[in-house]
Structure 1
Amino acid sequence: MDIHHLKYFVVLSEELHFGRAAQRLHMAQPPLSQRIKDLEKELGVLLFHRRRTGVELSEAGALLLEHARNVLDNVAMAQESMRRIRPGASGILQVAVPPDTNPRALEAMVSSFASAAPDVLLNLHELTTVEQVERLRDGELDVAVVRHPLSSVGFESGPVASKALGVVLNASHPLAALSSVRLGDLSGNPLIIFPRHMAPPLYDSFLQTCRDAGYLPAAIVHARNQHFTHGLIMAGRGVHFNEEPWTPLPDGIVWRPLVGDPLAWRTSALWLKSRRSAETDAFVEAVRAGLAAGGHG
Structure 2
Amino acid sequence: MRIFAMALLAFVSITVAAQKDTLKFRVSLTDKAATTYSLSKPQEFLSAKALARRARQQLSVDSTDLPVCARYVEAIRKQGVRIVVTGKWDNFVTVSCNDSSRMARISRLPFVRSVEKVWQQLTRTNKDKALKRDSITDKVVRVDSLYYGKSYRQIQMSKADKLHEAGFRGKGMTIAVIDAGFHNADRIKAMQNIHIVGVKDFVNSSCDIYAESSHGMKVLSCMGMNQPYVMVGTAPEADYWLLRSEDEYSENLVEQDYWAAAIEFADSVGVDLVNTSLGYYAFDDQSKNYEYRNLNGQYA
Fold agreement, TM-score > 0.5? no
Q: Looking at secondary structure, tell me which structure has more helix per residue.
A: 1
Query: Which category of TM-score, normalised to the shorter sequence, fits these structures?
Result: under 0.3
> Which structure's relative contact order is higher, taking Cα pairs within 8 Å and 6+ residues apart?
1
TM-score by length of 1: 0.21
